[in-house]
Amino acid sequence: MSYCLITLKKFGEFIREEIDSKDLLNASFRIKVEDKYLIIPIDRELTRDELSVLSKIDSAIKQSFRNDLQPSKSLPKSHFDVLQPLFSEKEMEFIPRSFDTIGDIIVIEIPEELVDKKEIIGNALLTAHTSIKTVYAKAGKVEGINRIRPVEYLVGEKKTKTIYKEHGVRLAVDITQAYFSPRLSEEHSRIANKTKVNEIIVDLFCGIGPFAIPIAKKVDSQIHAIDINPGAIALLQESISLNKLLGTIISYCGDCRKVVDEQNLEHIADRVIMNLPGYAIDFVDVACKTLKKEGGIIHFFEFVGGENPEKTIVEDISREIAKNDRKIDSVLEVRKVRMSAPRQWQMVADVLVI
C-alpha cells in the first residue's frame, strides 16, 4: 500500500523527476501504467502546497492511496538502508539526510566525522538512487564574484555537466562553471507565474537562467539576461536551445552596471530580478535605472538574520531606493526562500517602485 500521484503519461517524467528531486519517490513500489495515466508511488501524503507546485506541470494531477501496486525488485529505499549494515550506530547519526540532486548528479555535504568514509557514502547514494550517475562532496562555501561552490569528486561517472528539469523546463548545468541551486526551484516558478504577456524583464544576475528560461517558457515576454560569468552565459545559451520558448531572451556577458549603460537598457523594464544575495544591495541604483520611469517591480534577494527578517529586508531596499529619487509604492510580497545559515534566511522582497 502506498500513497501515489496520478498524472497524465505525457507529464509523468517531469512529475517523477520533481518528486525524486525532493526525495519523495517511494522506491519500494513500481510505477504503474493505466491507460493514459501513470500511477507514481510516493513516500507520504503531500501537502496542499506541494500538490499545487506539481499542478503547475499537470493541472489535473490527483493524489490517492492504492493497494494494487507491485513491489519493486527489493531496491534499497535510501542511502541509510544501504549504510546501516556497514556503519556503527554513532556514525549513522552523522549521515546527512538531505543533499542536492541536480539532474543525475548529487552534491552532498560530508560531515567532518565521516570524511574518511566519503566514498562509501557516495556509493550508497548511487545504489539507492538508480538515476544518479555521479556524486560530489561540497568542498567549501559558495565563493567569488561568480558564486561557484568548490566540489570534490567522490564516485561515479567523471562528469560535472547535466540537464536539470523543473516545472517543465530543461536547464543545462555545470556545477563547476556557474552557480545553480535546486533549492530555489519554487522561487523560479513563483516569479515566472507573476510575469505577464509583453513584459520586459531585466535579470541583473541571471546565472544559467533559472528565472529567465521559465519566464520565457510561460509567457511571450522579452528578457534581458545579464551575468558577469561567461560560463553561466554559455549554459544559458544552451538552455535557450533546449526549450520551446514563447518569450525572447537576450543575453549579455559583463558587469550589469556596465551592460545597462552600454546596451541602453535604461528605463525599459517592467520587472527587475536581483538574485545576488549579500551584494545585490550595491546594485539597487542599477535596478532603479533600468526600471520604466512610470514604475515597475523589483524582486530583491538578500541574506537576513535577526528577529524580524521581513521588516529588515523591506527597510534595506526602501533606504537604497530612496537614494535614487524613487520610492516604494507598495510591498507586494516578502518571503523566506530558504535557511542560508544558522539564524539566517535568504529572503526575497517583491516591491512596486515608482
Ligand X SMILES: C[S@@+](CC[C@H](N)C(=O)[O-])C[C@H]1O[C@@H](n2cnc3c(N)ncnc32)[C@H](O)[C@@H]1O
Residues within window 13-32 making contact with ligand X, judged by CB under 6 A: none
Region for residue 314 given its phi and psi (left: phi exceeds 0; alpha: psi -120 to 50; beta: otherwise): alpha
Query: How many angstroms from the chain centroid is the CA of residue 59?
Result: 21
Q: Please, what's the b/e burial string for 299-318 (b: 16 or more CB within 10 A of its CB; e: otherwise)?
A: bbbbbbeeeebeebbbebbb
Backbone phi, psi, residue 136, to 5°: -115, 155
CA torsion through residues 98, 238, 245, 206, sign: positive
Q: Is 256 in the site for ligand X (CB under 6 A)?
A: yes
- Asked whether position 179 contacts ligand X by CB under 6 A, the answer is yes
Q: How far is CA 291 from CA 26, 61, 261, in A?
A: 46, 38, 13
227 binds ligand X (CB under 6 A): yes
User: Closest Cα partner for 165 from 226, 228, 207, 217?
Assistant: 217
Query: Toward ligand X, which CB reaches closer, 236 or 334?
Result: 236
Q: Does residue 351 bind ligand X (CB under 6 A)?
A: no
Q: Rank residues 11 and 164 by Cβ distance to ligand X and give the closer one.
A: 164
Choose one: 10-18, 66-74, 225-233, 288-296; the region binding ligand X (CB under 6 A).
225-233
Written as nine digits, the cell of 171 is 536547464
Q: CA torsion, points 298, 302, 307, 311, in degrees to nearest 10? A: -20
Cα radius of gyration rounded to whole Å, the chain: 22
Task: Give the whole-angstrom CA distance, residue 226 versus residue 257.
Answer: 10
Closest distance of CB 232 from ligand X, Å = 5
Whether 177 and 207 have beta carbons less than 8 Å apart is answered as no
Minimum CB distance to ligand X, residue 193 (Å): 16
Q: How far is the CB of 131 from ligand X (least distance, A)?
A: 23
Q: Judged by CB under 6 A, does residue 275 bind ligand X?
A: yes
Of the ranges 21-29, 32-40, 65-73, 226-234, which one interacts with ligand X (CB under 6 A)? 226-234
Our finding on whether 284 is near ligand X (CB under 6 A) is no
If one asks whether residue 288 binds ligand X (CB under 6 A), the answer comes out as no
- Does residue 260 bind ligand X (CB under 6 A)? no
Closest to ligand X by CB, 38 vs 232, is 232
CB-side exposure of 95: number of CA atoms within 13 Å? 22
Answer yes or no whether residue 206 interacts with ligand X by CB under 6 A: yes
| Residue 276 makes contact with ligand X by CB under 6 A | yes
Q: Is 300 in the site for ligand X (CB under 6 A)?
A: no
- Rule CB under 6 A: is residue 232 a binding residue for ligand X? yes
The Cα 312–Cα 304 span in angstroms is 7
Instruction: Classify 23 in phi/psi space as left (phi over 0), alpha (psi -120 to 50) or beta.
Output: left
Which of positions 148-177 make contact with ligand X (CB under 6 A)?
none
Comparison of 79 and 190: residue with beta carbon closer to ligand X:
190
Q: What's the closest the beta carbon of residue 225 comes to ligand X, in angstroms?
A: 9
Applying CB under 6 A, does 229 fall inside the site for ligand X? yes
Please identify which residue in 147, 167, 190, 299 interacts with ligand X, judged by CB under 6 A: 147
Binding residue for ligand X (CB under 6 A) from 136, 180, 300, 345?
A: 180
Size of the site for ligand X (CB under 6 A): 21
Q: Closer to ligand X by CB, 71 or 144: give it.
A: 144
List residues near ligand X by CB under 6 A. Answer: 145-147, 178-180, 184, 205-207, 210-211, 226-229, 232, 255-256, 275-276
